[in-house]
């Protein structure tokens, strides 16, 4: 009989939380032959990633995963053998009580946010005893062997290597001019966007900017002087071509990242997928109160830049800080250009180093088996 898993997801950042849990649920089913039930409170956001989803259904099956609507009024369910609360979401009290009543309580894991901060290794796997006798265990994704690893399907990198860029781009209606650098842009609102676009427009090398529907479109429209930027909109200014793409499925977003020479991404899910693309990248980290996210940004830069020359590491770090700390983006972009080839090689090397470690789903399954 298959091991049963419950994964609970509260959609906070539109697509990041559900993006991670949906990928994880599918992988646990497809690669580990588990019975997975994914509880989601916002099926509307979920449907952007899974267009075939029925947003009115309380229960349905998608790609082998049982998808359940996590309604505000809990309807009750028998707990699975493994229960994951993603990103510190609070499980329904009645469900927790049901967990405590089980003859053998489920393995209860709190799947936390990804971070490269030093304290993560020490907290990964630590139990948190609950008043009702249950233990909730902290499980941290991460970049080292002492953490929970990163989401990565077994077929991901082989599919990337076999990928045909030209046919995929043609299917999206993208026809870049010869020699153009392809850049993808998926970001939160950012006042530095115009400064960056000014430099791209005035560059000697052409750039084709691909922008999936998202929160950055308002800033892009302001720079272009366009109140509305529908899917398919194509604008040229100097050496810069800007093209608006539809919000694509997760698999197509991977392909978009593989197609581009540089990827600007946001949040957690697209951040990890850009690393698997093995191309130079820029991370727009989720903003926290009192700029607490800056520490998380610096922690990742510290580990990611290892292996780069001092000059290249400084230039790349300056670009990321400019994007996230409202500093002159165009100047930082220009300063990175002399180091482009080194940064490109480093991105591929970083990807290979991370791929040499077990992935997040595998580590979760191993953790469960070791708990038996």
- Active site residues per annotation: 17, 268
Beta pairing, strands 234-237 & 240-245: antiparallel
* Two tokens, residue 368: 């469960």
**E runs forming strands in the chain:** 4-9, 35-40, 59-62, 65-69, 82-86, 107-111, 127-129, 135-139, 181-185, 207-212, 234-237, 240-245, 262-266, 281-284
Tell me how many helices (H) and strands (E) the chain has: 15, 14
3-state secondary structure of 150: coil
The answer to whether 221 and 127 are in contact (CB under 8 A) is no
What span, in angstroms and rounded, lies between the C-alpha atoms of 168 and 256?
8
CA dist., res. 125 & res. 157, Å (int): 28
């Amino acid at each position: 009989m298959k091991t049963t898993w419950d994964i609970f997801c509260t959609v906070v950042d539109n697509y990041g939380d559900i993006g991670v849990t949906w990928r994880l649920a599918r992988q646990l089913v497809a690669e580990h032959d588990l019975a997975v039930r994914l509880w989601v409170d916002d099926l509307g956001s979920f449907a952007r990633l899974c267009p075939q989803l029925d947003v009115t259904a309380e229960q349905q099956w998608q790609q082998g995963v049982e998808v359940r609507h996590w309604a505000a009024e809990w309807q009750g369910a028998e707990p699975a053998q493994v229960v994951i609360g993603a990103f510190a979401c609070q499980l329904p009290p009645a469900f927790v009580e049901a967990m405590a009543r089980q003859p053998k309580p489920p393995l209860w894991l709190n799947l936390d946010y990804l971070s490269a901060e030093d304290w993560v290794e020490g907290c990964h796997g630590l139990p948190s005893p609950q008043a009702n006798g249950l233990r909730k265990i902290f499980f941290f994704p991460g970049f080292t062997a002492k953490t929970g690893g990163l989401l990565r399907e077994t077929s991901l990198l082989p599919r990337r290597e076999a990928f045909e860029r030209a046919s995929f781009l043609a299917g999206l209606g993208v026809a870049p001019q010869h020699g153009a650098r392809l850049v993808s842009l998926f970001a939160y609102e950012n006042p530095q966007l115009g400064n960056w676009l000014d430099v791209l427009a005035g560059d000697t090398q052409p750039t084709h900017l691909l922008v999936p529907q998202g929160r950055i479109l308002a800033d892009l429209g302001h720079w272009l002087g366009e109140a509305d930027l529908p899917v398919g909109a194509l604008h040229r200014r100097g050496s810069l071509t800007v093209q608006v793409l539809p919000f694509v499925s997760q698999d197509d977003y991977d392909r978009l990242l593989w197609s581009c020479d540089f990827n600007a991404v946001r949040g957690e899910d697209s951040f990890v997928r850009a690393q698997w693309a093995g191309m130079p990248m820029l991370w727009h980290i989720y903003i926290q109160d009192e700029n607490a996210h800056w520490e998380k940004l610096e922690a990742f830069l510290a580990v990611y830049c290892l292996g780069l020359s001092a000059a290249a590491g400084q230039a790349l770090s300056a670009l990321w800080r400019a994007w996230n700390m409202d500093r002159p983006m165009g100047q930082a972009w220009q300063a990175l250009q002399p180091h482009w080839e080194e940064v490109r090689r480093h991105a591929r090397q970083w990807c290979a180093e991370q791929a040499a470690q077990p992935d997040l789903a595998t580590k979760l399954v191993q953790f469960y088996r070791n708990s038996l």
